[in-house]
Structure 1
């Protein structure tokens, strides 16, 4: 099911268990099939929404952050929000 948040359309695709998990590259390929990319978390409100969606799920998820020379999102936007120490 597609979810709308602000200017974004999100598809939460969770594996049934750890053995069905995907690599980062495979997850990005799935997003590309839908003409999208892994999520770029651009502010604390968006992060809170995604955190809420993931409550109760124990599987890991991928986000669209890349570290090639500089940190940037797979959608090409620069990193303007971080939530790590």
Structure 2
């Protein structure tokens, strides 16, 4: 698992270099332009919250903190969010849901859905699957996303712009 995650991180990093999406050197900062206990990557601040919340409650807490549930727009960003949540033990909320209209996934921060990481290799557990729920968690064990019931309780990751 660790080898696969490191390989994914390396592959995504190389992809980012080739496409120019990320400027390198990419640096993690602690408490630079972010509030205490948040982790900065480039212009964003991330925090993993272990307190179990429903999807709506987690988004509300992130809003109170000055951000949103995390939106993920690349494989590299997915790996970064996994790293931020490395001390967690299970899946955690990210800001994607189709709760407004079935099979129309939107991010809570209003950004467009331009990347997904659902496990499409297992036909017995198709994802995304609104029958499981309308809100999305990132599974800490394999890095894939899965739909869950929005009222389920889970930890979550918030994101906000640095300097707030």
Common fold, TM-score beyond 0.5? yes
Q: What TM-score do the two structures reach when normalised by structure 2?
A: 0.45
**Comparing both structures, which one devotes a greater share of its residues to helix?**
1
Cα drift, residue 52 of structure 1:
2.1
Q: Which runs of 4+ in 1 moved over 4 A?
A: none
Q: Which residue of 2 aligns with 1:18?
A: none
User: Is contact 2:71–2:109 with CA below 8 Å preserved after alignment?
Assistant: yes
Q: Deviations over 1:8-50 (max 9, x none)?
A: 21122113xxxxx111111111101112110001111111111
Distance in 2 between residues matched to 1:76 and 1:54, nearest whole Å: 23
> 1:6-85 to 2 correspondence within 5 Å?
6-15=42-51, 21-67=52-98, 68-69=100-101, 70-84=104-118, 85=120
Higher strand share: 2
Name stretches of at least 5 consecutive residues in structure 1 with no aligned partner.
Answer: 16-20
Q: How many Å apart are 1:56 and its aligned residue? A: 4.4
- Do 1:39 and 1:64's aligned partners in 2 also have CA atoms closer than 8 Å? yes
**Partner Cα distance (1:82, 1:49) in 2:** 15
Q: 1:81 to 1:9 in 2, by over 3 A?
A: same
Preserved contact between residue 14 and residue 59 of structure 1 (Cα < 8 Å) = no
1:35–1:77 distance in 2 versus 1, CA, 3 Å: same
Counterpart Cα distance in 1 of 2:49 and 2:117? 23
Long gaps (5+) in structure 2: 1-36, 121-164
Secondary structure in structure 1 of the residue aligned to 2:46: strand
Q: Which has the higher contact order (CA 8 A, sep 6+)?
A: 2
Asked if structure 2 preserves the Cα contact closer than 8 Å seen for 1:38 and 1:74, the reply is yes
